[in-house]
Amino acid sequence: MTIRVLVSLGLLGLLAMALYGAALTKDTPALPVEAESVATAEAKVFERGLLWRKEVERDEKAMRLSLDRLDKAIALIADDNLNGERLTIVELRAVVRQMQRRTPEVAAAHKEARADTLRYGETLCEAAPVLSAAAKRFEDYAADEPYEELRDDYRLWSESFRAIAEKYLQQETLVGPTVETITDNLDFVERVDTQLKRVEALLEIVPEESAETEEFLSRLAAYVRSFADFRERLRSLHGRTTGQRLEQEAEQPAVKITVTSLKADARQKTFAQDKPLLLPQSLSALSNVPAVRREAWSPIPTPDISFTSERAKPEPRVNPRKAEARATTQRRAERFAGVWAAPDSNFEIVLERSGDDLLASIGRRGVVTEVSGRLRQRGEADSFVAERLVYTFASGESVDLAGTVLTFTDDGHASVTGVRYGFATRSDKVVRLGLQNYELRRVR
């Protein structure tokens, strides 16, 4: 009897639990399969957008590193041996070999930059639609969101994804011209490499000193020109790659390159001086990179070369502070005007007042045959720094004192502090010298 009662109670309990569970199921229905798949798809869209953004940034970094490597490879071509040297047969052979060894590196850098730029363009094409879809999805989220604060967050995400997608589409249009220019550069480099190999082989059969050497050297002047033109043309092409425009040839100073035999007189040829090359940090900067400007220094056709400090641009309105600074500079210029020289030196610095500026010229004495360069005023009115300061001696050797700082004091003295500079000889042996704390005294 007791067992039957217990069994009955158990059955009643199970029935009650079943009925209660049915009631719960009716009040809270399960999530439909379609809604669950939509939520998963939305999460995947957001995740894919972030992944594509990271992939684009990765490929952009790889392309930028490749362009940096290409920039460094091109910079190696600008060799000082081609500037201001009297090239003999021996030296000309060394220059040709040196350039021939560098062209494979330049070609390899072009190929790597082209491949990375193509990969970057492909990533941009694939990433832009994904990010546009993510922007559209967040717009839908914003439309369905009843709370304004959350709605604004959705819209902010949508605008962010849309801006990134538009940026990628704009950058993608620049990839094609960039790849074409790099390809043109690569073809030119490979052709020059072939020319260098042929010239190198030709130079091996030419005697260093013979009756035919002089005649042969006159033909080689054209090849020396081609070496300089190679450097200039490659940099010009690469400048177009980066959206930059270099200055016209007429605005640039010229340097002289002389080809001569060991005993013959000089046969001079003049070529354009090297121009600077600057790469943008990313492809996104290609469309708005400003033109590269370089202030040229012009030697005066006298034994003295004049330098002038940078002149401030005229202001439309008078600034009291600037007016006072100009007046102070003028007063100090009048006080320091005169001729200054270092003890036992072979040069002297002449300071003259010209309006609000202090003009400096360096006169030659002793073995110095030419001085060229440019001084500019530093932050202090009594301090000047040499951007370029080259001394050429009677032997043909030269010393560059770029970085020399001249500071004038009220007690009639001036200190000259310089950086280390190189002393180059025709045999390319370099002796390191230092210029530290020379004192100038007024001599007249």
Read off the pLDDT of residues 379-403 as tens digits, 9 standing for 90 and up.
655 677 766 666 665 555 666 666 6
Tell me what pLDDT residue 377 has. 65
Tell me the chain's radius of gyration from C-alpha atoms. 36
Tell me what pLDDT residue 360 has. 58
**Phi/psi-derived region of residue 84, left when phi > 0, alpha when psi is between -120 and 50, beta in every other case:** left
In angstroms, the CA 438 to CA 348 distance is 12
- Residue 306, classed as helix, strand or coil, is strand
Average pLDDT score, the chain? 58
Q: Residue 196: how many CB atoms within 10 A of its CB?
A: 23
Q: Rounded to the nearest 5°, which phi and psi values hold at 218? A: -65, -35
Tell me what pLDDT residue 408 has. 64
Q: Is the pLDDT of residue 260 over 50?
A: no
Higher pLDDT, 41 or 125: 125
In angstroms, the CA 218 to CA 163 distance is 61
Q: Is the pLDDT of residue 271 over 70?
A: no
What stretch of H or E contains 139?
A: helix 89-144
Q: Rounded to the nearest 5°, which phi and psi values hold at 7? A: -65, -40
pTM: 0.39
Instruction: Tell me the HSE value of 164 on the side-chain side, using a 13 A CA sphere.
Output: 25
- Supply 389's token pair: 């300061």
Q: Is the pLDDT of residue 123 over 50?
A: yes
In angstroms, the CA 285 to CA 244 distance is 10
Q: 399: which DSSP letter?
A: E
Q: Is the pLDDT of residue 80 over 60?
A: no
